[in-house]
Amino acid sequence: MGLVTILKKSKRKEKELRILLLGLDAAGKTTVAKQLLQQDVTDVGPTFGFDIHTVEYRDFKIHIWDIGGQESLRSYWKNYFESTDGIIWVVDIADRDRLSDCVTQLHKTLQDERLVGAPLLVLANKLDRNPGVDREKLVKTFELETLCDRPWNIYLCSALYDSQVIVQGLSWLLEDIAEKNFLYA
């Protein structure tokens, strides 16, 4: 029995997960993380580098890697891909000028072999600034239906004002991960 097998069995027993929190800068990634941690979201600044947040939810201990989304940092994202159980991609749906850049960056990121099969939760954030957005249109814009190698889901939210949708999205992500990786959910 190799070391990797032992580590995987240990991880399954402890129900510890590694979730990447990605997206362009100013999308609301840190606000999402703070909502999950039930922290104050009124004073959130940009993330330079990364922050690791740990939250216990259900029977899981979740390590959320909140990685800065500035263009100068994106080439370093790949350094964090190893052992990823799931991905939360946050998009600012009010920033129409950078939406195509966001789509391109998402698909480029998902091409990395270390992320193959990792379920994807897209949080379409800042719904309060763009209340007329259509979920199905976003699915088409992000070409999510072409992602055959992984489960995905998209939730419309406003991270500043509504943590409930974020928690629902996290629940979906955890259920998918648990179904594939754990003997018990």
- pTM (2 d.p.): 0.91
Q: Which residues contact 148 (CB under 8 A, 6 or more apart)?
A: none
Vertex 42 angle, CA 41 and 45, to 5°:
80
CA 71 to chain centre: 18
CA distance 4 to 159: 37
Of all residues in the chain, the percent with pLDDT exceeding 70 is 90
**Which of residues 86 and 6 earns the better pLDDT score?**
86
Main-chain dihedrals φ then ψ at residue 89, nearest 5 degrees:
-105, 120
Q: How many helices (H) and strands (E) does the chain have?
A: 6, 6
Region of residue 23 (phi > 0: left; psi between -120 and 50: alpha; otherwise: beta): left
The string of pLDDT tens digits covering residues 38-93 is 999 998 999 999 999 999 998 899 999 999 999 999 999 999 999 999 999 999 99
Binding residues for Mg(2+) are 30, 47
* pLDDT at res. 149: 86
Which comes out higher in pLDDT, residue 2 or 24? 24
Q: What is the pLDDT of residues 106-115, one digit of tens each?
A: 999 999 999 9
**E strand or H helix that includes residue 141:** helix 135-141
Residue 13 is predicted with a pLDDT of 57
Average pLDDT over residues 100-126: 97
Mean pLDDT over the full length of the chain: 91
Banded pLDDT at 185 (limits 50, 70, 90): very low
* The two three-digit tokens of residue 34, written as one number: 């703070």
- Residue 145 pLDDT > 60: yes
From CA 68, how far away is CA 46, in angstroms rounded? Answer: 7
CB 95 within 8 A of CB 26: yes
Q: Which domains does the chain have, with CATH numbers?
A: 13-181 (3.40.50.300)
Q: What is the pLDDT of residue 69?
A: 97
Residues catalogued as catalytic: 70
Binding site for GTP, by residue number, is: 23-30, 69, 125-128
Structure tokens at 11: 């991880």
Give pLDDT, residue 180.
84
